Chain A
Amino acid sequence: MRGIAKRIAATAFVALMATAAYAQTPKDTVVMAKQIDDIISLDPAEAFEFSGVEVGANVYDKLMGVDLANKNALIGELAQSWTVTPDNLTYAFKLRPGVKFHSGNPLTAADVVYSFQRAVVLNKSPGFILTQFGFTKDNVLEKIKAVDDSTVQITVSKPFAPSFFLNCLTSGVASIVDSKVVKANEKDGDFGNAWLKANSAGSGAYSVRAYRPNEQYALEANPAWYKGAPKNKRVIVRHVAEPASQRLLLEKGDVDYARNLSKDQLAAIKSRPEITVSQGDKGYILYLGLNQKNPNLAKPEVREALKWLVDYEALERNIVQGTYRQHQAFLPNGFLGAITDKPYKYDVAKAKELLAKAGLPNGFTVTMDVRSVNPINDIAQAIQAGWAQAGVKLELLPGDGKATLTKYRARTHDIYIGQWGPDYLDPHTNAETFAINENNAEDARSKTLAWRNAWEIPEMTKTTLAAVLEPDSAKRAATYGALQREHQKVSPFVIMFQQIEVAAAGKGVSGFIIGPSSDTNLYSGIVKN
């Protein structure tokens, strides 16, 4: 008995000492630390969260893409060329020849038809990006047809602006899947959805090798990718929830990228010259939604006063530096028609004046639902302090993300501090939610952010709806510019920030591309020296 115990103790000791010898990450394998617990599915027809969409972007190809080097201009990817009829109703896409799926199957027009058909019929969260063009499960095979092996013809229901339709085809839901492989994994007519949740059947830079929810995913490079083999063999993304842990892993060289560093960690790693930080504007907008059912918030002077009461500059400097930048319009930088006007700054005197005009010279009391995560929490507290200067007593109601959201969707909040991410790379995605409210009734079919804040805007709704039918891109951009300036003045949205996505790379690691959306975060150029 004694002898065994001694031996176990000795073994444990030796084992511990021996661990000082480290296993560095292999040269051809890129390891990232990232929060990936938002993934619900890896099926491109279903994935609609940041992390899931990012996987899709590296695994699947689409007909259209954007040129990140050239102001996100539209370019053909799997589509070698395309034409649209003068009435803007019918598109013909000529497919790039010689593209093969990971399985070795050639990519043909039949795969494109099948991919769009399954996205429309499944109609999961991102499905509307396609169905808004008039496709339904009954008509999809008439509207989307294979003319021959390498030509696809698509008919949309209205003469939408071609830029609008083509921009939507760059989004993850329009990914092309290997119809033979997916059909082989179909179960009870689910279009292979159950199988694709954790597997892949694409033609892109990588294939999914393994996926364990809340733990990690591993991607294997596709040397036969039509754009050329990726510069690394494998990408492994591990779920590390805590930013401080991510930083330690990066500093020790156990991961090559840390993806969720906050302001404090970013400041701390500045002293490490071997760590490089790259960043890109993301489309996520941070805003306050003022519910118009609240009689005080419904007064135009109060809405404007609150916009003068946020210390945008101090918030950026003290809380979100490096991860958000000041932005006061509903279209994020990088989108067609985006404006950079920042009419508001912190001005208590002006706010007081406006409040007095609204008949509230001594301010009022109002609540705000706050997700208890940072930096949202800190921002809310800073706003609370700022508003107190003008007598506006802000009560913060902390809650979990899904709980505050449930309340917001039911329109029972006063003020909600929220974040909005564009669904696809076209201005309509944000314009629709911030500036369209077709029916302000409780049982409205379309529940946009404008609806959630009970903001009745029949005129603005008309203007916004017309903008998607404007075929001339320059005119379209001008319409959105005017719309945003009007919106800044009158809307019940205090738009404050646009998110910046930051990735910190370890020694000798470079080449990760951060695009304007998760659809454009690309791994294939990452190299380790």
Chain B
Amino acid sequence: MATATTDSLSAHSFRVGRILWRELTTIAITMFGLLLITFLIARVIPIDPVLAVVGDNAKPDVYEAARTELGLDKPLWQQFAIYVGKVFTGDFGKSVLTSQPVLTDIKRVFPATLELATLGTLIGIVLGVPLGVLAAVYQSRWPDQIARFIGLFGYSIPIFWLGLMGLLLFYAKLGWVSGPGRISVAYQDFVNPVTGVILLDAAMQGEWDAFRNALSHLILPSALLGLFSLAYISRMTRSFMITELQQQYVIAARVKGMSEARVIWRHALRNAMVPLLTVIALSYASLLEGSVLTETIFAWPGLGRYITNSLLNADMNAVLGGTLVVGAVFIGINLLTDILGRLVDPRAR
């Protein structure tokens, strides 16, 4: 008896180990492929990376010195090998644009994007899911029309225009929120950057005035991103719910005399939640890449602008570092969705 248990246990842990190993190799291969492709793309774009270091007017000797320093005189494969070798020792190199180690840069810009994306996604979920459910329940009637309108609005209005109009109305005219930037000058030294997420740092240090100020800076850009993800989430919720509401278990529940609210929110939505999680995760991940336009309008020092700016200047280390982060975020969120999906799915219990 005892031996049998041990056997099955070790077999089990062996299986877990194998799954884990497989996952890890997949991740490693994905990351490596990501690096290789990004590296090649960045090398074939017709931009001379040396210009980012020395500017337009540099004399030839300065130019050559910078070129050698960047290692651009070496063959392409060698440059890549050197880079990957360094990454394994945790050295992501320096960004030529900011003259700082890429890791330092990313530690600075990623929390800004994280803050924006998280609040934006929360807004998208809290408003988008109920809206989608209502649209499905009242299919083709006025709640559905309203939901469709909001979805279309969020999808089709250029975020650049919407952002400026939002600033004009809520910041300049009404004064409900603060303007571009993450925090007002008067508060900026009150909060020590621990996590880099100002809201968290302020709350942990009990700086509630700074917290409110940061929140009032955050609310408009994240509402904007929220509208975008709301549009997507509500539309997907609607279609998942319509499928679920036609299932036999819904009819069965109704026949059993359950209240309509219980049928919809407890039973149908719970089942719709499984595919919906993937949708939400994808939308969250895409916001975590950083939204270049939103960050530009709101003077938000986030990841999107960092990577874009680096790419346009052929700042290799920064682009590769940023891409790795985005890749890691996607993989991490995928894993998380898998786990959450298993927890939420009633059939999996």
Which A residues lie at the B interface, using CB under 8 A? 15-16, 18-20, 22-26, 29, 31, 33, 37, 40-41, 48-49, 123-125, 127-128, 194, 197-198, 212-215, 236, 238-242, 244-245, 248-249, 251-252, 254, 400-403, 405-407, 409, 421, 423, 433, 445-447
Contacts and interface: CB of A to CB of B under 8 A. Distances in A.
Nearest to A249: B179
Contacts of A23: 184-187, 213
A403 B48 CA distance: 7
Interface stretch (B50-58, B238-246, B266-274): B50-58
Given A48-B55, A403-B46, A407-B46, A240 B99 contact: no
Interface string B43-74: 00111100111111111111001000000000
B297 interface: yes
B312 A402 contact: yes
A214 B308 CA distance: 13
Given A23-B186, A33-B180, A400-B47, 6 more contacts: A31-B185, A48-B58, A128-B59, A194-B99, A402-B48, A405-B48
A70 to B, nearest CB: 28
Given A242-B297, A249-B179, A400-B312, A48 B57 contact: yes
Contacts of B62: 123-125, 127-128
Contacts of A26: 185-186
B105 A213 contact: yes
B87 interface: no
Contact of A254 (B46, B179, B297): B179
B86 interface: no
Q: Which of B55, B97, B216, B298: most chain A CB closer than 10 A?
A: B55
Contacts of B177: 19
B91 to A, nearest CB: 15
A22 B175 contact: yes
B51 A240 contact: no
A448 B20 CA distance: 59
A19 B108 contact: no
Contacts of B99: 40-41, 194, 197-198, 213
A254 B178 CA distance: 9
A123 B47 contact: no
Nearest to A402: B47
Nearest to B108: A212
B53 A40 contact: yes
Interface in B97-112: 97-100, 105, 108-109
A49 B187 CA distance: 30
Nearest to A444: B60
B306 A214 contact: yes
B212 A19 contact: yes
Contact of B185 (A25, A40, A194, A251): A25
Given A20-B175, A31-B185, A214-B301, A242 B61 contact: no
B225 to A, nearest CB: 17
Contacts of A40: 52-53, 55, 96-97, 99
B47 A239 contact: no
A171 B297 CA distance: 34
B282 interface: no
6 contacts: A20-B175, A40-B52, A123-B61, A215-B301, A403-B47, A406-B46
Contacts of A128: 59, 62
Contact of B299 (A20, A41, A239): A239
A400 B57 CA distance: 18
A213 B187 CA distance: 19
A214 B45 contact: no
B215 interface: yes
Taking residues whose C-beta sits less than 8 angstroms from the other chain, chain B's interface range is 35 or more
A44 to B, nearest CB: 14
B348 to A, nearest CB: 22
A23 B187 CA distance: 8
Nearest to A423: B57
Interface in B104-157: 105, 108-109
Contacts of B186: 23-26
A252 B306 contact: no
Interface stretch (B1-9, B28-36, B165-173, B249-257): B165-173
A251 B168 CA distance: 11
B312 A125 contact: no
B185 A236 contact: yes
Given A40-B55, A236-B185, A409 B48 contact: yes
Nearest to B176: A20
A239 B109 CA distance: 14
B29 to A, nearest CB: 32
Contact of B65 (A123, A198, A213, A446): A123
A15 B211 contact: yes
A48 B312 CA distance: 19
Contacts of A433: 57
A242 B48 CA distance: 26
B79 interface: no
B301 A239 contact: yes
Contact of B297 (A15, A22, A245): A245
A445 B61 CA distance: 8
B313 interface: yes
A242 B296 CA distance: 6
Contacts of A48: 54-55, 57-58
B314 interface: yes
Q: Which of A236, A248, A251, A447: most chain B CB closer than 10 A?
A: A248
B84 to A, nearest CB: 25
A213 B98 contact: yes
A16 B47 contact: no
A214 B109 CA distance: 10
Contact of A245 (B65, B185, B299): B299
Contacts of B179: 245, 248-249, 252, 254
A33 B181 CA distance: 10
